[in-house]
Amino acid sequence: MASVEFTRRTLLRSSAAGAAGLAFGFGGVRRALAGDLTIGIVYVGARDDFGWNQAHAVAMDALKQVAGVKVVEEENVPETDACAKTMESMINLDGAGLILATSFGYYTPFVVDVAKKYPKVEFRHAAPLWNKDKDPKNAGSYFGYLNQAHYIDGVAAGLCTKSNKIGFVAAKPIASVLSNINSVLLGARKTNPNATVQVIFTGDWSLPVREAEAANALVDAGCDVVTCHVDGPKVVIETAEKRGVKTCGHNASQAPLAPKGFITGAEYKWETIYKQYAAELGKGQPLPNMLAGGYEGDMVRNTPFGAGASDEAKKAALAAIEDLKAKKPIYVGPLKDNKTGKIVIDKAYDNLDPYLDQMDYLLEGVIGSIT
Cβ at position 6, least distance to another protein in Å: 12
Dihedral angle at the C-alpha atoms of 243, 149, 66, 85, nearest 10 degrees?
-80
Start-end of H helices in 38-80: 52-64
As measured in angstroms, the least distance from the Cβ of 80 to another protein is 5
| Residues lying near another protein in the complex (CB under 8 A) | 5, 8, 40, 46, 72-82, 85-86, 88-90, 92-94, 104-105, 108-109, 127, 172, 174-176, 203-204, 357-360
Q: Toward another protein, which CB reaches closer, 204 or 220? A: 204
CA dihedral (40, 44, 48, 52) positive or negative: negative
Nearest to 126 by CA among 149, 151, 103, 156: 103
Taking the least distance from each CB to another protein, the nearer of 46 and 318 is: 46
What value does the CA radius of gyration of the chain take, rounded to a whole number of Å? Answer: 22
Nearest approach, Cβ of 244 to another protein (angstroms)?
A: 34
In the complex with another protein, which residue's Cβ is closer, 85 or 314? 85
151: Cβ contacts below 8 Å, ≥ 6 apart? 183, 184, 186, 187, 320, 324, 330
Toward another protein, which CB reaches closer, 134 or 162? 134
Question: Which residues, in sequence order, are CB contacts of 309 under 8 Å at separation 6+?
Answer: 156, 160, 262, 263, 264, 317
- Quote the least distance from Cβ 12 to another protein, whole Å: 9
Three-state SS annotation for 236-259: HHHHHHHCCCEEEEEECCCHHHCC
Query: Least distance to another protein from the beta carbon of 174, Å?
Result: 5
- Shorter beta-carbon distance to another protein: residue 175 or 307: 175
CB 42, min distance to another protein, A: 9
122-125 and 98-101: which strand pairing? parallel
Cβ closer to another protein: 14 or 76? 76
Compute CA 146 distance to the chain's CA centroid, rounded to the nearest angstrom: 7
Note whether 53 and 44 are within 8 A (CB): yes
CB closer to another protein, 156 vs 178? 178
276's CB contacts (< 8 A; 6+ apart) are: 291
Shortest CB 243 distance to another protein, Å = 29
Burial of residue 28 (number of CB atoms within 10 Å: 0-12, 13-18, 19+): exposed
Please state the closest distance from residue 175 (CB atom) to another protein, in A.
Answer: 4
Nearer to another protein, 94 or 298 (CB): 94
| DSSP H or E run through 358 | none
- Taking the least distance from each CB to another protein, the nearer of 44 and 195 is 44
CB atoms near residue 128 (< 10 Å): 17
CB 117 to another protein: min, Å = 9
H/E/C letters for each residue in 319-352?
HHHHHHHCCCCCCECCEEECCCCCEEECCECCCC
